[in-house]
Amino acid sequence: MGVALPSHLLYRPVHMKISSSSPASRSPSQVQTLLRCFGYLRPHWKATAGAYGMMVLVDLINMINPQIIRWAIDHGIRTASSSLLTLAVIGLLGLVILKGVMTYFEGRWTEVASQSVAYDLRNELQRKITLLSFSFHDQAEAGDLLSRAIQDVERIRFLTGRATFRVVEGALLMLLTAAVLLSMNPRLALMAVLIIPLLAVQSIRFGRVFRPLSMQIQKQLAALTTRVEQNLRGARVIKTFAQEDAEIERFEAENRRWFDLSARSARLQAWNMPLLHLIANLGSVAILAYGGTLVIEGSLSLGELVAFTTYMAQLVAPVRFLGMILPAITMAAASAERVFEILDTVPDVREAPDAVPLRLTRGHVRFENVSFSYGRRDEALKDISFEVQPNQVVALLGPTGSGKTTVVNLIPRFYDPSSGRILLDGQDIRTVTIASLRGQIGMVLQDTTLFAASIRENIAFGRPDASQEQIEAAACAAQADEFIRRMANGYDTEVGERGVTLSGGQKQRVAIARALLTDPRILILDDATSSVDAETEHLIQLALQRVMEGRTTFVIAHRFSTVQRADLILLLERGRLVAQGRHEDLLRTSALYQRIVREQLLPAERKA
């Protein structure tokens, strides 16, 4: 029995680069990243085009409104013509109603397009994460992946929707307003237009500072999410070691880092917004002062001055949006980098373009000079060669860390060997489709994982179309049917997250039933009976003896009875195959085997 580690050692967040299996390349620029985000709008171009078309019409109405106000003042109010004033009011009212209708469709279509982008991105992320190799999941953290799939995608949605829409709308409004002002009074318009470069310079300066900070905030938020997820997952360990207070302190430390970064971000934005407003309002004040002088001199009408100030008010609105949206765009670019980092990750295990379905009829397994290492670490397997005949039961034995689990993980291509090859019925497993390979292999993993669903759904996970009779037959073979029927809802009983409502032995038997239901040609039991008592193990072994018939079976052995019944024992030490044969042969020829039997297998058998 292993020694349990304190929760802070089990669940310490590890900051790693997701794309470690990707080819080395320069990081894309912010512009390239943003353009890639906008590429996701292409399938939804109709809604996007409709929204931007409405935006152009709304901006044109914004250009017409001040001119109607100007006309109403100069020709209606100054001449005391109630009929002209009434006509102007009716015209303004009609434009306001029309603008309201167009704004409705503008907002609706913008949201439809951006939500579609989020939908597509999350599907693509889920597909990518599901298809990535075990080496990716060995390094990735669930909290970080959740943060990318939910929070980061949401920021991209805002970028491709309202954020960019408001920036384009503001830019168009500025251009149209500048053109109209220049046509009305070039000298007065020049004062208004001069503030635009100042606003642009301040916005660019702000973006340069805010972008790296937003990336830090995103990473820290992912770390915080990871801490929450791991504390929830490790709640039993935390309570077992009375580490509640320590975990609270660690969470507070992560939360404090996020708070400090967010506070710094708030300070930057709090400084940026008033500065942008100050620049814009200085322009309005200058126009009022100079324009008022022109009205007094008679070179500018009162209606024109009111129109000028109205146009300037319309310029201030996009500036205000710019101040709020630029930080969001910067954060969205940082989020997009994190999302695309996953999407661009190249799996270590890839299917060959010309891969063919596996034709497995016998179950012959052959390892030829197989070596393997996890990343840059020392080799976990070194030049392993062995041959397993069809229908044999193979027991893998060796000290902890000798490579037993690595051997069985290579058969379904959870990893690919660094060198050498693995043959099933004479076919190199790298030349066949991964789905057909894994469809022929039933596996009960050492860490039993059940889903928050019914027992029926968990057993049928690898074969969703299985009938109730087939599910019950698999459960009977795994000695699980009896305890399942004793439950209140039988096979419809919900097992809770990670099967928390079941005992270790019950979870193990459900996992065995799940593997048996697929009727595999090769069966892999990775410590499959480690969580059951001796009586339950005996029942399972009796059942397995029946289901092993006609199948090649690999068992990671922990009990003496297992190696006694094996047709072939593979003895590993430090990644090397040091001996192989039957129990009686190894007992005579291998000192290491004698020691393992004496010090590990027989004591475990007596305790059981």
Dump pLDDT digits (tens) for 77-135. Answer: 777 777 777 887 888 899 889 999 999 999 899 999 999 999 999 999 888 888 887 77
Q: How far, rounded to the nearest angstrom, does the alpha carbon of residue 391 sit from its chain's CA centroid?
A: 41
- The total of other beta-carbon atoms located within 10 Å of residue 491's CB is 19
Q: What is the DSSP letter of 432?
A: B
Q: Tell whether the model's pLDDT for residue 15 goes beyond 60.
A: no
Average pLDDT for 447-458? 83
Q: Tell whether the model's pLDDT for residue 260 goes beyond 60.
A: yes
- ∠ Cα 447 449 454 (to 5°): 155
Q: Where are the beta strands (DSSP E) in 210-364?
A: none
- Please, what's the b/e burial string for 248-259 (b: 16 or more CB within 10 A of its CB; e: otherwise)? eebeeebeebbe
Identify the H or E element spanning 571.
Answer: strand 568-573
* Residues 168, 479: Cα–Cα separation, whole Å: 66
In this prediction, residue 371 carries a pLDDT of 93
Q: Which range has highest mean pLDDT (131-135, 233-237, 378-382, 497-501)?
A: 378-382
Identify the H or E element spanning 365.
Answer: strand 365-373
Average pLDDT for 333-350? 86
In this prediction, residue 462 carries a pLDDT of 83
In this prediction, residue 324 carries a pLDDT of 64
Distances (CA, A) of 489 to 76, 163, 341, 485: 81, 50, 44, 8
**Residue 388 corresponds to which tokens in the numbers above?**
């397993």
* Residues 369, 385: Cα–Cα separation, whole Å: 5
* Residues 234, 226: Cα–Cα separation, whole Å: 12
Q: Tell whether the model's pLDDT for residue 231 goes beyond 60.
A: yes
Tell me the pLDDT band of 368, cut-offs 50, 70 and 90: very high
* Residues 106, 96: Cα–Cα separation, whole Å: 15
Asked if residue 315 lies in contact with residue 192, where contact means CB atoms within 8 angstroms, the answer is yes
Three-state secondary structure call for residue 62: helix
Residues 6+ apart with CB under 8 A from 127: none
Q: Tell whether the model's pLDDT for residue 20 goes beyond 70.
A: no
Q: Which residue has the higher pLDDT, 383 or 2?
A: 383
